[in-house]
Amino acid sequence: MTLLALPDDWGRALAIVAHPDDLEFGASSAVARWTAAGKVVDYVLATRGEAGIDTIDPKQCGVIRSAEQRASARVVGVDRVTFLDYPDGMLTYSLELRRDLARAIRSHKPDVLVSLNYRAMFGHGSLNHADHRVIGEALLDATRDAANRWVFPELVAEGLEPWHGLRFAAFNASPAADHFVDVTDYLDSGIASLAAHRVYLENLSDDFDLVQFLRSNAEQVGMQAGVPLAVSFEVVSL
């Protein structure tokens, strides 16, 4: 499939994912490009990734991974990182989750949303994480909730009026990707943002090479896009 360039005629994005590091395995290189161009990008994470390291107690792990996420975000020009404190590994599709995502959308008033692949599989044939699948489905439904004052009326009572300004949601690393962002000049920033998850990476397999991983993926997408290095997105119009 020929990839189209992701539209960049917008000013504010809200990235919503399940875990610390979800954005850094690809999308953060695009974030670096956007913030360098003066766009505002904020992060919202459903969990603190506290169940992500087998050798560290979840209470301690959540603190570590939250700090690493904030440091990682700063590398690519993101200052505002919010955690919703849902339990890692146990996200379920619920009205509560939809309401919290709608609240985030109304609060941040983004033009576009950014997230991670929510489909059952990744393109290389591995099963997607349950949390990724849940957050994507809930996020798409929350885009309509955010625009409807009669859904979750308690948000209006909080002073959050409906938000009708969303244009599209872009899901990184989807097997149904149809758009790309050229990150030829920004991959190094994306690599540095992933490297900021130091403790998490130290507990991955010994043969994981983050530079090779990000560069090889960007080269493959770049070949489809006709640029040296790129990251891919599936775009859903809103």
pLDDT score of 206? 78
Beta bridge partners of 179: 4, 233
d(C-alpha 87, C-alpha 5), whole Å? 35
Chain segment 6-20, per-residue pLDDT in tens: 999 999 999 999 999
pLDDT score of 125? 83
pLDDT score of 207? 85
**In the chain, what are the domain boundaries?**
4-237
Helix 187-195 vs helix 58-75: crossing angle, to nearest 10: 160
pLDDT score of 44? 99
Residues 235, 168 contacting (CB under 8 angstroms): yes
pLDDT score of 2? 85
pLDDT score of 128? 97
Beta bridge partners of 106: none
pLDDT score of 53? 96
Sites in the chain below the pLDDT cut of 70:
1
pLDDT score of 59? 97
Q: Choose among 145, 141, 143, 168: nearest CA to 156.
A: 145
CATH number among 3.40.50.10320, 3.30.70.2190, 3.30.200.20, 3.40.50.300, domain 4-237? 3.40.50.10320
